[in-house]
Chains A and B, each alone.
Chain A
Amino acid sequence: MASFTQTPVVEPGQDRTMVLNMGPQHPSTHGVLRVLLEIDGETVVRMMADIGYLHTGIEKTCEAKFYQQVVPLTDRIDYLCPMTNNLCYVLAVEKLLGLEIPPKAQWLRVLLNELTRINSHLVWLGTHALDLGAMTVFLYCFREREEVLKMFEMVSGQRMMTSYFRVGGIALEPPLGFFDRVRDFAGYFPEKVDEYENLLTGNPIWKMRTKGVARMTAEDAIALGATGPTLRGSGVDFDLRRDIPYSSYEKFQFKVPVSPDGDVYARYLCRVQELRESIGIVRQALDGMPEGPIKADAPQVVLPEREKMKTEMEALIHHFKIITEGFSVPVGEVYQAVESPRGEMGYYIVSDGTAKPYRVHIRSACFANLQTLPTMCEGRLLADVVAAIGSIDIVLGEIDR
């Protein structure tokens, strides 16, 4: 974080240019992003992002917690896709342990992850359109998002900070009526996507505001470490769910939307198509949901059922040990990546054989995607900066961690 007392990072050049400070309390910076812009009239000559306003030291905190205590921390990294964070973390720990997860748990994880993607994309679409002056879309998107949040509340008791996945499975069976509710939602949601598209996709004002704006080539996107729709909007066909599958994604059929143009409109098209693909995956998960347990058979790691705890000595002992001293994880290191709504989210965990992780590093998609901003904006108009920031779908909680 560059402080105000120091020399400005973007130096004013000749008399023609001036330095403009945008944020951190600007409504279209999606949180607390501060951007320094050197402008010549209305053209951006140079820009740089200043982050760190939300840094909470989650990686350091993880080192002082038991493995199972880290799960609630992961929700708070990216508050728009809590389940994706939960999933990535538990997958990494399960890989360290060598645990096999029952199919039903895997399918439930896929189902909830796609609902999370829908939730996150709806927030993105609403706020992105709002930034560019389309108020109605925001209201429509939040109407459907509310329904998704209610489903999250059904399974986990929380609308946003779900902490629903556990190392070795998931916390609880979904309550009665949950699947019907999801099926109902999956039935009418495609029509709602049509509604959003009717408002935007063919709209000449929307097109003028987004087409050809904030362009980025595929080479630049790869070199700068962009992932997710930011990368696919530049024409690179890469999606971790299909290419390096995890949690049974290889058993689902879905298309990976790619747009070659590399502008704000291309990234918009990618995400809107992803909404449709995601609801398709949700439907497949509902139809093919396997029967069976939702937790792995690993008494040292997974908490026993409440009923067993009251009747079986062994279960009570395991419960006591997991709660009081955690479970130890064999020495090693893993890097587990999942496709979050924003791109590649990775957890790198180093274990020293104790019950607390030696090091947890979170590779956040937005952190790398944010670096593409100067490439997109330099040489373009000031008003396009807002469109560019919206189009990479940043969440500052994830960037600063």
Chain B
Amino acid sequence: MPLSPAITDLEQLKNHPAVARLVSWNPAAVERARFDRDELTIHLERGSLLEACALLKDDPACPFNFLSDVTCVDWYPAEPRFEVVYHLLSIAKKERVRLKVRLDSGSPVVESLTSVWPGANYFEREIFDLFGVRFSGHPYLRRILMPEDWEGHPLRKDYPVEGYR
């Protein structure tokens, strides 16, 4: 099965429930969308993330009611440096969608999703721990995997694989 080219045209993707819902709500919130390897990615404007997730969670046509995963990618030295990645799943419709928010290295802060899905708690703590991205409104933003007194954020690209000796 050779790879088919990615679809990046927003108009063509409007028949997907998540894109349709978000564009009809606030066209300015959707920066771009991409359909590649059978997976849909929607880039959201940073400030609209929390509202967009609450909206998708309660969408009557296709409720993305399950937060599968939250992670982060560091594009150092490019700016905006961090990309926080959310994977939502609709248990009823068996659909997935990936949401992305870009953050620059000056103020890597994004709203926490813990008010929508309490399960975001550990995932966001992990990203804070390993990338140094902060989540505003998180109830307990502390290191989770590394020791409390650790210096630096190991999954950043400017952190050496062997660690600092």
Contact = CB atoms under 8 A, between A and B. Distances in A.
Interface residues of B, number: 43
Interface string A25-65: 00000000000000000000000000110010101110110
Given A223-B119, A225-B66, A60 B161 contact: yes
B145 A52 contact: yes
Contacts, number: 109
Contact of A98 (B2, B69, B144, B155): B2
A294 interface: no
Contact of A348 (B69, B122, B145): B69
Interface string A374-399: 00000000000000000000000000
B21 interface: no
Given A60-B161, A238-B91, A244-B94, 4 more contacts: A1-B144, A1-B146, A64-B161, A361-B71
A328 B26 CA distance: 39
20 contacts: A1-B148, A51-B144, A52-B143, A59-B130, A59-B155, A96-B37, A98-B2, A222-B65, A222-B66, A222-B91, A223-B117, A223-B118, A223-B119, A224-B117, A224-B118, A225-B117, A225-B120, A332-B37, A333-B41, A361-B71
Given A52-B145, A332-B37, A63 B119 contact: no
Contact of B122 (A96, A350, A367): A367
A230 B135 CA distance: 28
Given A60-B154, A225-B68, A371-B119, A350 B73 contact: yes
A225 B1 contact: no
Interface of B: 1-3, 6, 36-37, 39, 41, 65-69, 71, 73-74, 85, 87, 91, 94, 96, 98, 117-123, 126, 130, 142-149, 154-155, 159, 161
B94 A3 contact: no
B39 to A, nearest CB: 6
Interface string A229-246: 000000010100001100
A361 B67 CA distance: 15
Contact of B36 (A1, A63, A332): A332
B119 A60 contact: no
Given A57-B154, A59-B155, A368 B145 contact: no
A401 B71 CA distance: 14
Which of B3, B6, B130, B145 lies at the interface centre, i.e. has the most chain A CB atoms within 10 A of its CB? B145
A339 interface: no
Nearest to A236: B91
A363 interface: yes
A3 B69 contact: no
Interface residues of A, number: 47
Interface string A322-345: 000000001011110100000010
Nearest to B98: A335
A365 to B, nearest CB: 10
Nearest to A361: B71
A363 B161 CA distance: 21
B147 A363 contact: no
A346 interface: yes
A333 B40 CA distance: 11
Which of A96, A223, A400 lies at the interface centre, i.e. has the most chain B CB atoms within 10 A of its CB? A223
Contacts of A222: 65-66, 91
Contacts of A368: 119, 122-123
A243 B87 contact: no
Nearest to B91: A238
Given A60-B155, A60-B161, A344-B68, A371 B148 contact: no
Nearest to A348: B71
Contacts of A370: 122
Contacts of A96: 37
A346 B69 contact: yes
Contacts of A194: none
B154 A346 contact: no
Contacts of B6: 332
